[in-house]
Amino acid sequence: MDDGFAPVSTASAYQAKPSRNPVARHPDLVRVLVVEDDLEMAETVAVGLRRHRMAVDVAYDGPSGLDRALFNDYDVIVLDRDLPGMHGDDVCAELLAAGRPSRVLMLTAAATMDDLVDGLGLGADDYLPKPFDFPVLVARIGALARRTQRAIPPVLCRDDLRVDTAQRRAWRGERLLELAPKEFGVLEVLLAAQRRAVSAEELLERVWDEHADPFTNAVKITISRLRTKLGDPPLIETVAKSGYRI
């Protein structure tokens, strides 16, 4: 397969490449936590998912994975079953008990029917045995993410602004806008909010990831660039103490 990952059992065999999988079209609204104790595999999977324009955080053991999952709002948690410190089964059970809305995709080297039944019985939403094809992982993450999010129309419109969320293209009137990925992500979030003000913190969380400095001015800079590219009359309004809205 030349547009994704071949079946692998170790991270050294991964070669992350962008694919033509449709899931890659829905990028910055999907936030993923990868909990995997194999450092090389975890980082390589994270890089591959980021190339599909997902916001990805990584944890390398059960306790830190659970902490992140309880503290942050993830759409999907990719959870290895055999983790140090706290077994993946226990992490999954704790998340279920806490009522977290994140969908759990459990990974394991074991692939028997009993393992599948056990994992789903603990509250996992899906189950993927190792080795796996990377496009399959991406597709399953996309399918799970769609269950956690309010459906976004394929085309978002406001006045003369039109955004095609599937093709990742935007127009102001008849003018095609040349937007960077983060600019498109911010624009999509603002439009999907339906006139609700979106805070800089929410934009940072949904369009970036946990590695983004909470004190960064990345949101402010991106909004400024968006305003310039959108042109007049202005569409993005700054709402005092609340954030931004269209």
Residues 169 and 116 in one domain: no
pLDDT tens, 10-33?
A: 333 333 333 333 333 333 468 899
113 and 26 within one domain? yes
**What is the model's pLDDT at position 165?**
79
What does the CA dihedral 151, 155, 156, 161 come to, rounded to 10 degrees?
A: 170
Domain with 171 in it: 155-245
Instruction: Select from 123, 148, 173 the last residue of a domain.
Output: 148
Residues 177 and 131 in one domain: no
Contact yes or no for 172/231 (Cβ under 8 A): yes
User: pLDDT of the chain along its 246 residues, tens only?
Assistant: 333 343 443 333 333 333 333 333 333 468 899 999 999 999 999 999 988 888 899 999 999 999 999 988 889 999 998 899 999 989 988 888 887 888 999 888 765 556 555 556 667 888 888 888 899 999 889 888 876 655 456 788 888 999 987 778 899 999 999 999 889 989 988 988 878 888 888 888 778 766 666 667 889 999 999 999 999 999 999 988 788 989
Same domain, 159 and 143: no
Do 206 and 29 meet the contact criterion of CB atoms below 8 Å apart? Answer: yes
The answer to whether residues 100 and 24 belong to one domain is: yes
**Residue 117 structure tokens:** 């039944």
> According to the model, what pLDDT value does residue 156 have?
84
Total number of domains in the chain: 2
- In this prediction, residue 95 carries a pLDDT of 87
Tokens of 27: 């990028």
Q: pLDDT by residue (tens digit) across 174-188?
A: 999 999 988 998 998
Q: Is residue 141 part of a domain?
A: yes
Dihedral, 176, 182, 186, 189 alpha carbons, nearest 10:
100
CATH number at residue 82: 3.40.50.2300
* 84 and 196 inside one domain: no
* Cis, peptide link before residue 181, omega less than 30° from 0: no
Q: Could you tell me if residue 115 is inside a domain?
A: yes
Question: Do both 26 and 76 map to the same domain?
Answer: yes
* 140 & 159 share domain: no
Domain shared by 130 and 171, yes or no? no
Beta-carbon count within 10 A of 220 CB: 13
CA dist 180 and 129 (Å) reads 35
Cβ atoms 218, 226 nearer than 8 A:
no
180 & 140 share domain:
no
**Where residue 202 sits, what CATH number does that domain have?**
1.10.10.10
> Which pLDDT score, from 0 to 100, does residue 18 have?
34
Domain annotation covers residue 5 = no
